[in-house]
Structure 1
Amino acid sequence: MGAKPVAPSEEPRFLEEREERVKEIDSRIAELDAEFTGTMMTPEAREEWNSLNAERDEHAATVREMKARRDRLRQISANPGGGEPGAPAPGAAPAFHKQRGVEIYEISRIRADAHSEDEYREKLFDNARRAVERAKFAPMSGQSKERTAEHVEELLTRADDRDKWLAKRILITGNPVYERAFGKAIVAGGPQTWTAEEQRQMALSPDTAGGLAVPFALDPTVILTSDGSTSPLRQIARVEQITTDTWRGITSSGVTVSRSGEGDEADDNSFSIARPTVTPTRVIANIDYSVEIGQDWPQLRSEISRLLMDAKEREEDSAFVIGDGTGDNPFGVVKTLDAGSEVPMGAAGTLDVDDLYDLESELPVRFRRNAQFLGNKSTYNHTRGLSTGSDGGDLWVRLASGQPSELLGYSAHEASAMDSVGDPDGRVLLFGDFSEFIIVDRLGMTVELQQHVLGANRRWTGQRAVVAMWRNSSKVLVDNAFRVLTDPTAS
């Protein structure tokens, strides 16, 4: 019978899509009229005619309303103070001109100027990149502004979802009005000093569950912090940032291939695929600061960023290594390895050269190519002692500053949370391909403000507090990619 009304699930969302649909309906209505010229329509044709005309009327009315809304948004964007452009309302204080370039942060203007959903998303992305270029990043472990900006732009390209959640967050929290209001809230312990403009901007906060979204230029879940120089696991593991609640991946034990002669039946080379998931869980940090420090927001801005980064990295250094995966704990790379990955030391409480070579040889060749060591300072001190002995050879090689030392020719990284030689049933040295260990970050940090920190006698200490919340977790994707040296010391 020709064209049919658009199904509800395919309802056009943007103005030009509705205008295009009106053209399709007009064409089909003309076809029906020509088909039944001089005669009555069949019941089916009449039903289609009526349905198409009803749909057309609905689209035409919606198009008129959408155009009116768009014109109104443009009018508001051009004249946010109301009244005649450039003139204050009667009795009002003289209007301040909007800071040049602030319009790049205004999502309502981006929506009004976009002619399609694709164009809207492209504008969000482009404006977010411009916001990153303008951002004033807090100093983070020596990272340059250029390197940090490159990292955030990479997240916009790689980690953002179809709806541009991250781009919107950058535009909202990167707005100078938002950051000014955020700083005022930190200093005062609450929103009581916000202007009307600041209240409107903060109402756009992307975190609807309460709290204040941290401006992206201060947010250690978004910006580049130490790049793994303090937390080695983030340097060597697979790290994924997400804007959803759960990361879903695909792993395989590997594909086996075989050869066969002409006319011979091929071998069964089937393989299994697993679908691991990682759901980031909440981490909370409480940072107290004195009212005196809070009176100087520029100084406090940098200090809070440094403290949040430090607290986050110290928690991760332990949780991603020895987290047991129960409750909200991450699946630590050492703690949650299965027993099949253990390689016992030859003698309890004594590390020797053979133990190291046994650990290396137990790891499948497939994972040995990208393997690295992870251990604590004490264990590495034992290996240095071995390398000076008659049978030690060149076990340990210390490379130039900024590069990890090498053990048996493999990079060796330090993790203070790992067991030491002599610890009862300790897992003292990990060897494996860390691309099979994943850290998943849910982008975005939120803070709650505590205006008065009370002492033991319930009296104010002269301090305020920032309670920061973020989400992450970790998991071993392939247990067989790791071997861990264990010390069977009796407890």
Structure 2
Amino acid sequence: MAIEKKDIEEVAADLKGTFEDFKKKNDKELDGIKAEKGKLSEQVDKLNEKMGQLDSLKSELEKELKAAKRPGATQGKEADEHKTAFYQFMRKGTEDGLSELERKAVQTTTNQDGGYAVPEELDQTLLELLKDESPMRAVCSQMTVGTPDYKKLVNLGGAGSGWVGETDPRPTTGTPTLAQIQAYMGEIYANPQATQASLDDVFFDVENWISTEVAQEFAEKEGQAFLLGDGDKKPKGILSYGLAATADKDREFGTLQKILSGAAGNFTGDNLIDLIYATKKGYRNGAVFMMTNLTQAKARKFKDNDGNYLWQPGLQLGQPSTLLGYGIEENEDMPEVAADSNAVLFGNFKRGYLIVDRMGTRVLRDPYTNKPYVSFYTTKRTGGMLLDSNAIKVLTLSA
């Protein structure tokens, strides 16, 4: 079924009505007498859960509408020939001339483990699907490189300056300190399977099947690595870098600032405000919160001193729900609310973290290991690195 703007408007209207009901019940629960409190608490929790579902549904519908409007890629003759030969290989296992077409299409060099590079159009589609599926790709910077690794020089400051008159001498100033940072890379794989009968069916969309199957597997594994990975044969995730309570000017580069909640296994709306204002103004433009659905449900109950709710639903097309005026990226790989948990992230993730993809996804067709299924062992090299440790802040719940 095609997604239309009116479908999203209907969900937004339902979300608005649910939010109004939630506020009334939650306010009544806060002020209610003991006899009513248990029943009201149950109603508040149900409305809170429904708001989460409607908010997620609105976001998904907007993604589908955006995907439906995405323009198709234009290709040259060599790319078309490579694509045709590749899908023949997928369906029938026919490899005649595929290696030569792959080279002509300017794909990456051959892999020692064999297999063939997917056509460039499919590789780009796969990255687009990964961006839709992965919370980390949705908010972080991304770069595609043609080499196995990626390094970058960063300026740590230290260049001197001063005021002088028109004819005053200009003494030598200090030299800025440079540091080299490197992406932690690893090879991620998926192994989707289909029967040969389905592959022989002319109505079976091989391109859509391989891209969606692989994107889902990749998104689950890499999303966790971009957040929690230890850097051993995989990306080093944001929360695997060092944490310190010191401010930006006193903290070592590559170490994130943590804000302690002050309450064991709990946090308040004031803690979220502290998180925002620990972030320099230049980073707050484009910043978002990141947390799990359950943590967001807790934050929906917070109010300011005037009784206004800190969480507000996004009711217009393309307008996300906000917390203290900032967007929220729901990520179920984030730690839940618990003692000594890093339960909330806030910051400008595009400036803070870079996802690096090696150009080219490779597929090895295996019709023998698990008959009657044909396996498609699919690999891609990807990595991640912390770019700017001042751009992201961590709310750590006290132990």
Shift of 1:329: 1.8
2:364 matched to 1:448?
A: yes
1:6-405 maps to which residues of 2 (within 5 A)? 143=67, 147=71, 149=73, 172=78, 174-176=79-81, 178-188=82-92, 190-191=93-94, 201=101, 206-209=108-111, 210-220=114-124, 225-226=128-129, 228-254=131-157, 260=163, 262=165, 263=168, 270-278=175-183, 280-296=185-201, 298-325=204-231, 327-340=232-245, 341-387=257-303, 393-399=308-314, 400-405=316-321
Question: 2:133 touches 2:216 (CA, 8 Å); kept in 1?
Answer: no
CA displacement, residues 33-73 of structure 1 (integer Å, 9 cap, x when unaligned): xxxxxxxxxxxxxxxxxxxxxxxxxxxxxxxxxxxxxxxxx
**Native 8 Å contact 1:404 1:413 kept in 2:** no
Letter of the structure 2 residue corresponding to residue 474 of structure 1: G
1:284 Cα deviation after fit: 0.7
Change (3 A) 1:303 1:392: farther
Paired position in structure 2 for 1:433: 348
TM-score, structure 2 normalization: 0.69
Structure 2 CA distance for partners of 1:234 and 1:257, relative to 1, 3 Å: farther
CA drift at 1:398: 2.0
Per-residue deviation, 1:368: 3.0
User: Which runs of structure 2 are paired with 1:471-486 in the superposition (5 Å)?
Assistant: 471-486=381-396
**1:180 maps to amino acid:** T
- Correspondent of 1:408 among 324, 333, 350: 324
Alpha-carbon distance, 1:203 to partner: 7.6
AA of the residue aligned to 1:475: M
**Displacement, 1:287?**
0.4
Q: Identity, % of aligned pairs?
A: 26
Q: TM-score normalized by structure 1?
A: 0.57
| Inter-partner Cα distance in structure 1 for 2:353 and 2:156 | 14
475 and 411 in structure 1: CA distance in 2 versus 1, 3 angstrom threshold: same
Tell me the CA shift for residue 352 of structure 1: 1.0
Find the aligned partners of 1:199 and 1:329 in 2 and give their Cα distance: 29
For 2:322 and 2:164, the matched residues in 1 are separated by 45
The answer for the alignment partner of 2:57 in structure 1 is none
Taking the aligned partners of 1:271 and 1:475, their CA distance within structure 2 comes to 22
Q: Distance in 2 between matches of 1:213 and 1:283?
A: 15
Deviation of the 1:358 alpha carbon: 1.8
Q: Which has the higher contact order (CA 8 A, sep 6+)?
A: 2
What is the CA distance between 1:471 and its match in structure 2? 0.9
Tell me if the contact between 2:185 and 2:234 (Cα under 8 Å) persists in the aligned partners: no
Deviation at 1:448, TM superposition (A): 0.7
**Whole-angstrom CA distance in 2 between matches of 1:228 and 1:146:** 14
Aligned length: 317
Question: What displacement does 1:446 show?
Answer: 0.3
Give the CA deviation at 1:390.
5.7
Indicate the residue corresponding to 1:124 in structure 2: none
Distance 1:486 1:467 in 2: 40
Q: 2:222 & 2:319 partners in 1: Cα distance?
A: 21
Per the TM alignment, residue 421 of structure 1 is displaced from its structure 2 partner at its CA by: 0.9
Q: Residues 310, 259 of structure 1: CA spacing in aligned structure 2 closer, same or farther, 3 A cutoff? A: same
Query: 3-state DSSP class of the match of 1:417?
Result: coil
| Gap regions ≥5 residues in structure 2 | 1-63, 246-256
Higher strand proportion: 2
CA distance in 1, matches of 2:138, 2:186: 21
